[in-house]
Chains A and B, each alone.
Chain A
Amino acid sequence: MATQHSRSAARMMMAPAVVLLLGWMLVPLVMTLYFSFKNYLPLRGGDLGWAGFDNYVRFVSSSAFWPSIQATLIIVGGALIITVGFGVLLGILLNQPMWGQGVVRILVIAPFFVMPTVSALVWKNMFMDPTNGLFAHLWRFFGADPVVWLSDASLTSIIMIVSWQWLPFATLILLTAIQSLDGEQLEASEMDGAPALKRFWYIVLPHLSRAITIVILIETIFLLSIFAEILVTTGGAFGTRTLTYLIYQRVLESQNVGLGSAGGVYAIILANIVAIFLMRIVGKNLDA
């Protein structure tokens, strides 16, 4: 149906979005690249001349670099596993006939509406605080010593908070996918006497693969840049310093814009590696 006319019209219509995004990507990217080769220290008078590749070398040779990559991957990976895993289970549960389905659905999606700063503050103070937090009360009620969440289980705590925020998103998408599952096929297999686990493995899960990849793609984009959750809870201590947080420390705490910009370039490279990897999978699934 695509005529020459509609093709050029299509290009025209795509232009504003593409141009805007290109600008939004290129302008900061070019400026980041420019600063990354500069010795730029705002508190020492700003631009102190060219630095060559010094910033790049210094950023990776810092003892904080590899641990920060590791922390980033653990947090993103952990949150993905939890949200997708529980999202599938929750999606199946919510798809069952029950009383008050609408209300339950509202309860489940509510965390998605909460600002990251607020959810981090609430979890840190009202749940994970080792003296006055609800978890501490609960632990003491059962005669156990309260866990000091944010120092002794720092990565776990952050993964918990982030997962709580993103579980609703995963659940919603997966629920819609489950609802589209062919009921008759399932019934037939049920009558054949296929056990529930087998039905899940051979019919439900393959059907969900497309939805799962999409959840992973979108969540990864957001999870790679989480920041407020770390700033509010641990301030980067106890092994929770992610790459984003390390860049924050370089730019805003050390006031070294050149070094931070070099870190920014590394972050873009990391994001693109992850993105290419993900897009291979999604691309395949999008075609299918």
Chain B
Amino acid sequence: MNLTNALFAASALVSVAATAATADTITIATVNNGDMVRMQGYTDDFTAKTGHEVEWVTLEENVLRQRVTTDITAKGGQFDIMTIGMYETPIWGANGWLVPLDDLSEDYDADDILPAMAAGLSHDGTLYAAPFYGESSMIMYRTDLMEKAGLEMPKAPTWEFIREAAAAMDDDANDINGICLRGKAGWGEGGAIITVTANSFGARWFDEDWTPQFDQPEWKEALTFFTNLMNDYGPAGYATNGFNENLSLFQQGKCGMWIDATVAASFVTNPDDSTVADKVGFALAPNHEGVEKRANWLWAWALAIPAGTQNEAAAKQFIEWATSKDYIELVAAKEGWANVPPGARTSLYENPNYQEVPFAQTTLDSILAADPNNPTVEPVPYVGVQFVAIPEFAGLASQVSQEFSAVYAGQQSVDEALEKAQAIAMEEMEAAGYR
């Protein structure tokens, strides 16, 4: 009795002392995606393990980007951890604005991070951000509608098949669109899908001398195909649809096919939110017949530490906690394997429990199919699949994608848009001194 009490008191003392010695409060800026919101819910687990408190700044993607970019470039020091993507990480890492993550603990097993993800989040071989979850793009389709149309989805279809299937599944009377794709302006929205579509038609943003390539026939072919496909079989107003709009359309059973982020798979198969949860099949993103690249993108939301933070040690502890194997186990135990953050670790895909999740294999195959160093058929001077990892890209691509959205809305022709895109790209690249 006394002994237990004494032990209890002693351990309480020790833990108080430990907490007092190291307890910090770290401020984390993050995006309001489902997996991050879930992570916030488990903050108590982190605090219990380390004693550190966490302040969350959760913002919508565009606002987050603008907020963290301002802070890191002006060295405002407002955040101890920033949630950033594959686009920002190599650029910021090269500028020396991020703390290198090359000394993570043995337990953390950094070699377990999927090689494609680690490559996209590194500069000169040094990891600057740890992936919280990773994604590629793939086809999600309605198995019941496919059957009704008398077709069978190949494991790796072509765009030509997608068009045929969209035509067969499109059903205006029942409010079903053959295919849903993003058309919304913004480089991370509609810009991502049209860029990978162009890649799969053999097009590229720049040639090896940084000359914009929008005047080449491949771009015209890709944009024309995309616009026709969506005008014929896409939802009304797709020019303003982004990831969220398409997700809710698909969940309401209004899309036959949807090509988008692999992380969407867990949302469309979740019976709480989706009316079609048990009727979804998955396949690799398509390619144009005869082109060897598929419309696979590669993206990761990752946690990085800005250089100069006062709480570097605590921030590292948090990153090790949030992107660890243990965190995945924790979520799996509480909410099931389908809800764990996907696409970051090799071990997850070797886990027999996870292999039972219906979309696990296609997700892995899609991620493996994307190669940020060789995104297109012809060689390019840049890194990145659905983006070009140079500082000027965000501004340039958001303008270009606005021109494309105007095509989707029927406000200008494919030729006009490509001509403007070429002019905008030339202007920006000259201003930045590439040419």
Touch test A–B (CB under 8 Å): yes
Please give the residue numbers on chain A whose beta carbons come within 8 Å of chain B beta carbons, in ascending order: 41-46, 58, 62-64, 129-132, 145-146, 148, 150-152, 231, 234-239, 241, 249-250, 252-256, 259
What chain A residues lie within 8 Å of B4 (beta carbons)? none
Selected contact of B395 from candidates A151, A234, A256, CB within 8 Å: A256
Pairwise interchain contact B394-A253, C-beta atoms closer than 8 A: yes
A255 in complex: contacting residue of B249, B254, B394, CB < 8 Å: B394
Are B236 and A254 in touch, CB under 8 angstroms?
no
Given contact pairs A131-B249, A131-B254, A145-B236, A250 touches B406 in the complex (Cβ within 8 A): no
Indicate whether A235 sits within 8 Å of B424 (C-beta atoms), given known contacts A130-B237, A249-B399, A255-B395.
Answer: no
Q: How far is the CB of B333 from chain A (nearest CB, A)?
A: 35
Chain A neighbourhood of B398, CB < 8 A: 235-236, 249, 253
When distances are taken between beta carbons in the complex, the residues of chain B under 8 Å from A132 are: 248
Kindly provide the distance from the CB of A19 to the nearest chain B CB, expressed in whole angstroms: 27
- Interface of B, secondary structure class, is helix
Contact of B406 among A41, A63, A238, A259 (CB under 8 A): A238
Chain B residues with CB under 8 Å of A46's CB are 73
Q: Across the interface, which residues of B come within 8 angstroms of A150, CB to CB? A: 237, 240
Task: Write out the residue numbers on chain A whose beta carbons fall within 8 Å of the beta carbon of B386.
Answer: none
Contact of A43 among B66, B73, B410 (CB under 8 A): B73
B409 touches A152 (CB 8 A): yes
Q: How far apart sit A88 and B408, CA to CA, in the bound complex (Å)?
A: 40
Residues of A within 8 A of B245 (CB): 129, 131
Check A235/B395 contact, CB under 8 A, given A42-B74, A62-B427, A252-B70: no
Q: Are B239 and A151 in contact (CB under 8 A)?
A: yes
17 sampled A-B residue pairs with Cβ under 8 A:
A64-B399, A129-B245, A131-B237, A150-B237, A150-B240, A151-B408, A151-B411, A231-B62, A234-B185, A235-B184, A236-B402, A238-B409, A238-B411, A253-B395, A254-B394, A255-B69, A255-B394
Q: 16 additional contacts, CB 8 Å, given A235-B185, A238-B409?
A: A46-B73, A130-B236, A148-B236, A150-B240, A151-B409, A237-B239, A237-B406, A238-B402, A238-B406, A238-B411, A241-B402, A249-B395, A249-B399, A254-B428, A255-B392, A259-B431
B186 contacts A235, CB within 8 Å?
yes
Report whether B391 and A255 are in contact in the complex, using a CB–CB cutoff of 8 Å: yes
Q: Is the CB of A43 within 8 A of B95?
A: yes
Say which size band chain B's interface belongs to: 35 or more
**Chain B residues within an 8 Å CB radius of A237:** 185, 239, 402, 405-406
Instruction: State the main secondary structure of chain A at its contact with B.
Output: loop
Contacts of A43 in B (CB 8 A): 69, 73, 91, 95, 391
* Bound Cα distance A58, B424 (Å): 12
CA distance A83 to B161 in the complex (A): 52
CA distance A129 to B399 in the complex (A): 23
Measuring CB to CB, which residues of chain B are less than 8 angstroms from any residue of chain A? Answer: 62, 66, 69-70, 73-74, 91, 95, 184-186, 235-237, 239-240, 245, 248-249, 254, 391-392, 394-396, 398-399, 402, 405-406, 408-411, 420, 423-424, 427-428, 431-432
Chain B residues near A145 (CB-CB < 8 A): 236
Is B69's CB under 8 angstroms from A151's CB? no
User: What residue in chain A is nearest B70 (Cβ atoms)?
Assistant: A252
Residues in B whose Cβ lies below 8 Å from that of A41: 391, 432
Asked whether A252 and B66 contact (CB < 8 A) given A64-B399, A236-B185, the answer is: yes
In the assembled complex, the CB of A135 is this many whole angstroms from the nearest CB of chain B, namely: 11
Q: How far is the CB of A196 from chain B (nearest CB, A)?
A: 43
| Residue in contact with A256 in the complex, picked from B240, B248, B406, B431, CB distance below 8 Å | B431
Kindly report which residue of chain A lies nearest to residue B431, judged by CB atoms.
A58
A211 to chain B, nearest CB (A): 38
In the bound complex, residues from chain A placing their C-beta under 8 Å from that of B237 are 130-131, 146, 148, 150-152
**Shortest CB distance B274–A (Å):** 15
Q: Chain B: which residue is nearest A233 at the CB level?
A: B240
CA distance A152 to B402 in the complex (A): 14
Residues of B within 8 A of A255 (CB): 69, 73, 391-392, 394-395
A-side contacts of B240, CB under 8 Å:
130, 148, 150-151, 234
Q: Could you tell me the distance between the alpha carbons of A239 and B185 in the complex, rounded to whole angstroms?
A: 12
The interface centre, meaning the residue of B74, B236, B396, B406 with most chain A CB atoms within 10 A of its CB, is B236
Q: In the assembly, what is the distance between CA of A245 and CA of B423, in Å?
A: 20
Name the A residues within 8 Å of B185 (CB-CB).
234-237
Tell me which residues across on chain B come within 8 A of A241, comparing CB atoms. Answer: 402
Cβ-defined partner of A250 (8 Å) among B66, B395, B408, B423: B395
Contact across chains for A238 and B405 when beta carbons are under 8 A apart: yes
Is there an interface contact between B236 and A131, defined as CB atoms closer than 8 Å? yes
CB-based contact A63/B236 at 8 Å: no
Bound-complex Cα distance A43 to B240 (A)? 30
Nearest B-chain residue to A58, judged by Cβ: B431
Q: Which 4 A-B pairs have the closest CB atoms?
A: A254-B395, A42-B73, A43-B391, A148-B237
CB distance from A283 to the nearest CB of B (A): 39
**How far is it, in angstroms, between the C-alpha of A46 and the C-alpha of B96 when the chains are bound?**
13
Expressed in whole angstroms, the Cα–Cα distance for A42 and B66 within the complex equals 13
Let me know if A148 and B409 touch, CB within 8 A: yes
Shortest Cβ distance from A248 into chain B, in angstroms? 9
Hey, which chain B residues are within 8 Å of A252, CB to CB? 66, 69-70
Q: Whole-angstrom distance from the CB of A145 to the nearest CB of chain B?
A: 7
Min distance, Cβ A123 to any Cβ of chain B, angstroms? 13
Chain A residues with CB under 8 Å of B236's CB are: 130-131, 145-146, 148
| A43, A237, A241, A259: residue with the most chain B Cβ atoms closer than 10 Å | A237
- Nearest CB of chain B from residue A239's CB, rounded to whole Å: 8
Q: Give the complex CA separation of A224 and B357 in angstroms.
A: 52
B70 touches A148 (CB 8 A): no
Question: B411 to chain A: which residues have CB within 8 Å?
Answer: 151, 238-239
A72 to B184, CA, bound (A): 22
Most buried by B among A131, A152, A241, A259: A131
Which partner residue on chain B sits nearest A46 by CB separation? B73
Are the C-beta atoms of B73 and A63 separated by less than 8 Å? no
- Is B394's CB under 8 angstroms from A45's CB? no
- Which residues on the A side are within 8 Å of B184 (C-beta)? 235
Q: Tell me how far the C-beta of B223 lies from the nearest C-beta in chain A, rounded to whole angstroms.
A: 16
Given known A-B contacts A131-B235, A145-B236, A254 and B409 have beta carbons under 8 A apart: no
Complex Cα distance, B424 from A132, in Å, reads 35
* Residues of chain B within 8 A of A130, CB atoms compared: 235-237, 240
